[in-house]
Structure formats: C-alpha cells, structure tokens
Amino acid sequence: MSLIFLNLKRFDIPREKNGVNSISSPFSWGEFIIKNVQDKLSQFDDSTFVVFFPEAHIIPAVLAKNDLSPMIIGCQGVHYADTQKGGNFGAFTTGFPASAASSIGCQWTIIGHCEERRDKINLIAQGGGNDYSAVNAILNQEIKCALNAGLSVLYCIGEKQEELEISDKVLKDQLQMGLEGVNTEKIVIAYEPVWAIGPGKTLPDRSYIMEKAQYIKEITNGLPVVYGGGLKKENAAMLASIDEISGGLIALTRFSGDIGFYPDEYIEIIKAYHEK
C-alpha cells in the first residue's frame, strides 16, 4: 500500500494575478483537476490518493468525483478550535473549523506543513515571543479537532538548516508535543526536510531519508512515514526503494518553466514511484 498526497496550495491563482494556474479558469479549477486525474488513477490498485485543495475548491472537487473515484479530498488545515453543542456554533472568522471541512466532503487534512509552522513562528515573533514550542502545542490542538471531526491527518515534521545538528531532537519534540494525547490510528507522518526544499537546494540522499524515517517510526511506534520534501519523477524510484517510506507528498509537478500542477505530469510521477 502506498500513500500519495498532493498539496495544491494556492495553485488556483491565475498567472495574470501572479499565480501559477495555467490549466483552467479559477471557477472550474478544482473540478478540472478531479476530472482529468481520477480515471487514470484506477490502474494503481494498491494505493491511496489524497488531494489537499484550497477551501474554495473543495466542494467543486467533491462534486466532480465519480462513484468509483480513487481520489480522496482533503483540506490544507483546520482551526485549533471547533464547533461544540451548547458552545461555540462556529464563530471562527478567518478560521476553518474541522467540522466545516468534514461537512463539505473532506476526509483528510494536512497539519504542520513548514509553511504553516513558519506562519505561526512569525506571529509569535511579531508579539515579541521566542518560545516556538507553542507551535507544536497549537498543532496538537488542530490534530485533535481534526480527529474528533472524523478526519485523517497528514502531520508534517522537519528540521531547518540551522537545526541540522540537533535534527533528532527537533523531530522528537515535534512528534511528542504534536501527538500528545492523540489516538494515532488515523495519523500519517510526512518527513519534510525544510533545509532541502527550494530551488538550488541540495536534496537529502537515500541513506539520510532512511535514517530519519527509521527514527520517526521508532518514536511513533511504527506510524506510516511518507517523504514530504517533494515527491517527483526524479526521486520517485529512490523513495520507493526505501522500506520505511510508504509514499510521498507532491507539491508541484513542474519545477521549472511554467511551474505549477499539471495532471499528466502527476500521473507520470505516480507511475515512476510504482515502477520501482
């Protein structure tokens, strides 16, 4: 069983608005992706395919799914609080409650992506704080809300460049604090080496990824681990050869020229992973 995740970020923004969407009108972007991908995925029987959409595209994507679609819809995060009977009915302006995500058809959410962690660190710093362990505590609340709403969670962890010498401690803190008090039956861990993400960065080699995956499994009592640093055609065979890695997170399908998401290239990446 392989677990293939696709994070579409804000790829719905058209190029004339400084985005990277070249494939469809923003109004039909989510629908376009589902319709141009779901049938082609039927050839990969023993795999789970989860796609994380920006909020505005979740409902069109859900409606575009056919009854036999292998695609599972997810959202790109949930608020750290949720609706409660006799309590808050949903007054979370700018927040996205897990109950809302579940109600409109999401089955998964991604939590702790390096972009989300960076945003929370910036907020703490803006307030003059420097205790960034609070980020893991907030993510822990998000995970609990997601699970309580029936969502499965892709929990991202990873070390930055300045944390390489204490990498294991960073990962251990993110895991232990983020998963404290959590039933982990519906949790998958994405190992995201932040120091290696971006143009011109040196990618971790096979032995490094395997070492970190083994360590994560040791800390989490064997939770599934996928590579969150960018599954692509060039590294798919290498990642598939690592027993401790169960799949990957695709962030882009085209990394140069007209970057962005392209359905045919998404299928090529998956084929490369399964042709190990």
- What positions carry a catalytic annotation? 113, 192
Cβ(109)–Cβ(75) below 8 Å: yes
Burial 160-178 (b: 16+ CB within 10 A, else e): beeeeeebeebbbebbebb
Q: How far does Cα 161 stand from its chain's mean position?
A: 21
Q: Could you tell me which residues come within 8 angstroms of residue 149 by beta carbon, excluding any fewer than 6 positions away?
A: 78, 82, 97, 98, 99, 101, 102
Q: Which of 202, 239, 229 is nearest to 113 (CA)?
A: 229
With the C-alpha atoms ordered 219, 223, 229, 235, is the resulting torsion angle positive or negative?
positive
Interatomic CA distance for residues 17 and 40, integer angstroms: 31
Interatomic CA distance for residues 105 and 75, integer angstroms: 10
Interatomic CA distance for residues 58 and 74, integer angstroms: 8
Query: What are the start-end ranges of the H helices in the chain?
Result: 29-35, 58-64, 98-103, 114-126, 133-148, 167-178, 206-220, 236-240, 263-274
What are the φ/ψ torsions at residue 87 (nearest 5 degrees)?
Answer: -125, -135
Interatomic CA distance for residues 199 and 108, integer angstroms: 29
